């Protein structure tokens, strides 16, 4: 049986999606959570000086979305056809861009620039992305692609649930998206994980 060891900081951050895919697929993995004070001694042991790193039978691999897509493909969460995969990647890319914009605003040190970035994210970027994703979901039904849970649904849940923590009205005009998010969070394996995972700020 393949042995997976996932190395990432003890936060959700950018790397939580990989944990969630493992969980949704029901695949055992060793969740190595690195504390920030331990990072200097761990860093030289990584292939690129960055996390996350996934060990597959002892061999280290890097780049979180490459890892996420690989695990999704291995365990039936990446669609059945190339067209399915294209549709999933469209959703993933939109959500990814939003997440990067959120992170950029969170870590901006200039207060004026931070306020401007936060305003643009809230008033322009999020509504635009939610509109596109809502139409995508309506065109397909309850899941973003096909009839089964996929990487698209999981990544959407991962990131948009964080937006909701900051603004609980984000999905008020997009009830289809709210239903999709609630459905994903209610998947038994995911629900169990979410109740037990460490509480972190990011």
115-131 confidence digits (pLDDT tens): 999 899 999 999 999 99
Sign of CA dihedral 54, 60, 64, 66: negative
Which pLDDT score is estimated for 166?
87
Q: What is the mean pLDDT of the chain?
A: 95
157-183 confidence digits (pLDDT tens): 999 999 999 889 999 999 999 999 999
Which pLDDT score is estimated for 202?
86
Which pLDDT score is estimated for 133?
97
Which pLDDT score is estimated for 63?
97
Distances (CA, A) of 160 to 75, 152, 165, 168, 184: 23, 12, 9, 10, 12
Strand order in the sheet with 53-56: 30-34, 4-9, 53-56, 59-62
pTM greater than the 0.85 cutoff = yes
104-118 confidence digits (pLDDT tens): 988 889 999 999 998
12-57 confidence digits (pLDDT tens): 999 999 999 999 999 999 999 999 999 999 999 999 999 999 999 9
* CB-based contacts of 138, cutoff 8 Å, min separation 6: 176
Asked if the bond preceding 146 is cis, omega within 30° of 0, the reply is: no
86-93: average pLDDT: 96
Q: Please state, in angstroms and rounded to a whole number, the distance separating the CA atoms of residues 26 and 175.
A: 28
Which pLDDT score is estimated for 180?
97
Domains and CATH numbers, the chain: 4-76+190-196 (3.40.30.10), 82-186 (1.20.1050.10)
Which pLDDT score is estimated for 64?
96
Which pLDDT score is estimated for 142?
86
Q: Please state, in angstroms and rounded to a whole number, the distance separating the CA atoms of residues 53 and 46.
A: 7
Q: Please state, in angstroms and rounded to a whole number, the distance separating the CA atoms of residues 193 and 20.
A: 8
Which pLDDT score is estimated for 69?
97
Q: Please state, in angstroms and rounded to a whole number, the distance separating the CA atoms of residues 147 and 154.
A: 14
Q: Please state, in angstroms and rounded to a whole number, the distance separating the CA atoms of residues 32 and 62.
A: 15
Query: Quick one: what percent of the chain has pLDDT higher than 90?
Result: 87
28 phi, psi to nearest 5 deg: -70, 135
CA-closest candidate to residue 23, choices 149, 193, 137, 146: 193
């Amino acid at each position: 049986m393949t042995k997976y060891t996932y190395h990432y900081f003890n936060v959700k951050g950018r790397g939580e999606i990989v944990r969630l895919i493992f969980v949704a697929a029901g695949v055992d993995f060793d969740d190595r959570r690195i504390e920030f004070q331990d990072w200097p001694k761990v860093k030289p042991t990584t292939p690129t000086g960055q996390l996350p790193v996934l060990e597959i039978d002892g061999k280290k691999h890097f780049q979180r979305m490459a890892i996420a897509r690989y695990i999704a493909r291995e365990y039936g969460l990446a669609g059945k056809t190339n067209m399915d995969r294209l549709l999933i990647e469209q959703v993933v890319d939109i959500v990814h861009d939003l997440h990067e914009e959120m992170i950029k605003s969170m870590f901006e040190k200039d207060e004026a620039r931070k306020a401007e970035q936060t305003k643009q994210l809230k008033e322009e970027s999020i509504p635009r992305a939610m509109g596109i994703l809502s139409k995508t979901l309506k065109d397909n039904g309850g899941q973003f692609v096909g009839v089964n849970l996929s990487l698209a649904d999981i990544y959407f849940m991962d990131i948009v649930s964080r937006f909701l923590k900051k603004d609980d009205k984000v999905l008020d005009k997009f009830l289809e998206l709210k239903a999709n998010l609630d459905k994903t969070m209610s998947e038994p394996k995911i629900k169990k994980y979410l109740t037990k995972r460490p509480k972190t700020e990011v």
